[in-house]
Structure 1
């Protein structure tokens, strides 16, 4: 797919205006549902669904396990919007287009982004079914020319050179860990570094050993473009990976990674992850301010 002409601020406003004309919901929280984890959107009350194909200038999701719609509604007493299906570089989208929903939602008034994904466990202490709270990431796509902020910068969204040293909100990570313990899931919680590659091929043992050497605990094919743009827009971010498979670093291992394994683990752990995220949203104060990594603003 050829590189599309980048959107102007007015293009994002057009999408925002379309969505606001369809629903009275004005969410402060965006939840991005990873592979097999879209069931959280089914818990929303007073929900209103808009399929991606009906949204002007919006990308569409082509991946099995991703429904491909926005779901607006209430989770407890909070107005939220869920993305049932996200976008990836391996679908042919440039990095900036993968992150279109983030900018649109920031214009709608979203202040917090909760991003989930399915990931392979590189850290040998991780088990299938574990939840990894993302404390940092390695944006391999961005480091090799796929940063979503490349090109002209619009100061109305954020600064030319946004810091990423504290991309993931520590307070929310601690809250999520406490909630997991309350739910009896404490044994499943990990705290680690997520690495994002473009895909769609799964990694070779040599590639995985390289990622292990540079400090990655888990690897996937999403999340980093969305988080980079969210921080550019001044949004608070909480990220969590469901470890759906153990990465194969041993040349003598006859097993192979596959997407069906990812989806099956997602189905098995979906309820636990949904309960955790729902309770995390429930505990968020309606008046909570944004932590931009340099203090609360």
Structure 2
């Protein structure tokens, strides 16, 4: 028997109950939420006065199952701002439905955040990119959403957001401008990129033919996350900034095939994570609550 998609998911009251439960475990009241991608959770180590809440301690919360995603919320101060970091996100390929993948964004909104920063490890599709580049997300292509797996499918509660939200301008122009200026000041100009991120379902990495297709569609980088979280953030009125660490280059030719592994992704993530953390930290310092 098929599941009635109009009846599944978390209600508005469910989300607020979870948020209230989590806030009882910390002294902090965050205004900025940060989702850490594969191998990029080290930003949480820079938080002052940290309160740590493990996912398994939170009622109705999913559990992260992927290497490089520890599975905890870290509350505290970063560059003078009160933040909450997700050290470990959820993915569609883990078997979670889309509405559960992005549920933490709604919880963070209910806890009081007004800005969401999403980071990820991605494969480079633009042949002008290099492994180790940092790509600011100008836009995205929601491939699962275009093929029937949009994160907002199901009954809509107007208290979350409108039934038919516009996703133009999902990534905040002012935050993009600030991040680009910060990157130049830090000397990251040679590795800074700006482009379009496309989400695939995973967990398989792309074939040569698939990489060519995604590139022809206008994507500069590809990954298995971020878009559901960004769409839900836009739906509920949050400002969003996204950035990818290009951890590998996708193969666009059969003559030079690169068989990507998750271990390689984590290795590059660890190598360049410090630069990404510095950029995000400086950006947080400039965000107006």
1:164 matched to 2:167? The reply is yes
Distance 2:253 2:262 in 1: 20
Give CA-to-partner distance per residue, 1:259-297, whole Å, 9 cap, x none: 1111011000011111100000011123xxxxxxxxxxx
The answer to whether the Cα contact below 8 Å between 2:250 and 2:258 also exists between their aligned partners in 1 is no
Please, which of 272, 285, 288 is the counterpart of residue 269 of structure 1? 272
| Map 1:39-50 → 2, pairs under 5 A | 39-50=42-53
SS at match of 1:222: coil
Q: Select which of 184, 187, 191 maps to 1:184.
A: 187
CA RMSD of the aligned region, Å? 1.1
Q: 1:106 aligns with which of 102, 105, 109?
A: 109
What SS class does the counterpart of residue 242 from structure 1 fall into? strand
Say whether 1:57 aligns with 2:48. no
Q: 2:94 aligns with which of 85, 91, 114?
A: 91
**How far did residue 255 of structure 1 move?**
2.9
- 1:47-96 per-position Cα deviation (integer Å, ceiling 9, x unaligned): 00011111000011000011110000000210000000000000000101
Any unmatched runs of 5+ in structure 1?
Answer: 287-297
Determine which of 109, 115, 122 is the counterpart of 1:119: 122
Superposition TM-score, scaled by structure 2 size: 0.97
More divergent stretch after superposition (181-190 vs 192-201): 181-190
| Equivalent residue pairs, number | 285
Q: Are 2:73 and 2:86, in contact at CA under 8 Å, matched by a contact in 1?
A: yes
Determine the structure 2 residue equivalent to 1:294.
none
Q: 1:251 aligns to what?
A: 254
Counterpart selection for 2:150 from 147, 150, 158: 147
**Could you say what secondary structure the match of 1:83 adopts?**
strand
Tell me the distance in 2 between the aligned counterparts of 1:246 and 1:122. Answer: 6
Q: Secondary structure at the match of 1:181?
A: helix
* Match among 15, 18, 37 for residue 15 of structure 1: 18
SS at match of 1:14: helix
CA shift at 1:254, angstroms?
4.2
